[in-house]
Structure 1
């Protein structure tokens, strides 16, 4: 059995959520049911490719460096690519995601299997649409960046497999109705900022949506 020390807390949370959903009646699995069974073996497919704390300023710097070796040693193929479904780029000085879609195939032997990426503790000012190319992404960490506009999360709505998202520690978090807005815009989420999205959260988000619509209608009348 795989030791909990060998995997990320995010992945452990994902596994726990999936196991909990599997014990519930099928009528309660509308959101989690689309998680592909074959993705469950991702934690066995290889260790996290870890480029955290490397003072990276551009993503292209990664190809010049060797990723950290953790509890589980990195697994390479004959063509020097890594066997993994998860990538950590946190705690660096990255300010743009340009080239992410080229970096992932350069690093991973099966880039299409990527389901977890950690971009936290950088200086990204916005959410780059390049993330939308990661169609199997289920866990996305963007906390502790410089994303100020709440509407940036609208870009993530097409990531149909996205289940766990972190955005806390960005300036957008201070916007009134922050949590309700994210929950309403990305209904497929199960957790936000490491906190389970409850029925109450969804009810509040629905009310928030109606309030925003009324507010916009009233504003148009007086414009």
Structure 2
């Protein structure tokens, strides 16, 4: 999937807010979601929903935080295709405060994804995080308050796997941190370990 030039109007549009909806899965989506209602309940957090075109939202941001999502998001592509006018324009995805234990390869279908919030989940393995390194525009990731964040050297390990990011857990990655990343031999060991974990 190739990246595209995301219209500025999509980037600055209100996010599609599906937070605090008690969602356990992404498919099927219940019709009772606040964002689908026409009354004042649909504007409780973001002061309204983004504009629509032919029944789909013109935005580059989706908030799915504070739900009860589990597993690895196998239906994320289906959800985004159904709700966004330009699904490949997705730049910001907030999945924080859920119960995710893995990350689906379906996330790789969003080539413009630059910001991914994953804090306060149940991610325990660097293998799950390594998958998202293939997102070409990913620059900001949050992973704090996951089991993996409790390990000594967590930040260094994540930065050695996600080389292009410029912010981790809302903190900028400094040049001195980059200089302290593991040498090539250790990096090769980490990559081999990740490959073994996948098979």
> TM-score, with normalisation over the residues of structure 2?
0.80
Change (3 A) 1:39 1:183: farther
Q: 1:144 aligns with which of 120, 136, 152?
A: 120
- Following the alignment from structure 2 to structure 1, what is the Cα–Cα distance between the partners of residues 100 and 177? 27
Give 1:147 deviation, angstroms.
0.7
List gaps (5 residues or longer) in structure 1.
Answer: 1-34, 217-223
Contact kept in structure 2, 1:51 and 1:62, CA below 8 Å: no
The structure where helix makes up a greater share of residues is: 1
Tell which structure's C-alpha radius of gyration is larger.
1
CA distance change for structure 1 residues 159 and 214 in 2, over 3 Å: closer, same or farther?
closer
Q: Which of 162, 166, 175 pairs up with 2:138?
A: 162
1:58 counterpart (22, 25, 32): 25
User: Is 1:194 matched with 2:174?
Assistant: no
RMSD: 2.6
Q: C-alpha distance in 2, partners of 1:102/1:146?
A: 23
How far, CA to CA, are the matches of 2:189 and 2:140 in structure 1?
A: 30
Name the count of aligned residue pairs.
Answer: 181
Residue 197 of structure 2 is matched in structure 1 by none
Question: Which residue does 1:27 correspond to in 2?
Answer: none
> What TM-score does the superposition give when structure 1 sets the normalisation length?
0.72
Larger relative contact order (C-alpha < 8 A, sep ≥ 6)?
A: 2
Deviations 1:180-212 (A, max 9, x none): 1111111110000000000111112134x5446
Unmatched tracts of structure 2, length 5 or more:
36-41, 192-199
Which residue matches 2:69? Answer: 94
**What is the match of residue 104 of structure 2?**
128
Q: Which structure has the highest strand share of the two?
A: 2
Which one of 105, 119, 141 corresponds to residue 95 of structure 2? 119
CA separation of 1:78/1:202 partners in 2, compared to 1, >3 Å: closer, same or farther? closer
Q: Secondary structure at the match of 2:116?
A: strand
Distance 1:81 1:179, change over 3 A: same
Q: Is the 8 A contact 2:4 2:112 kept in 1?
A: no
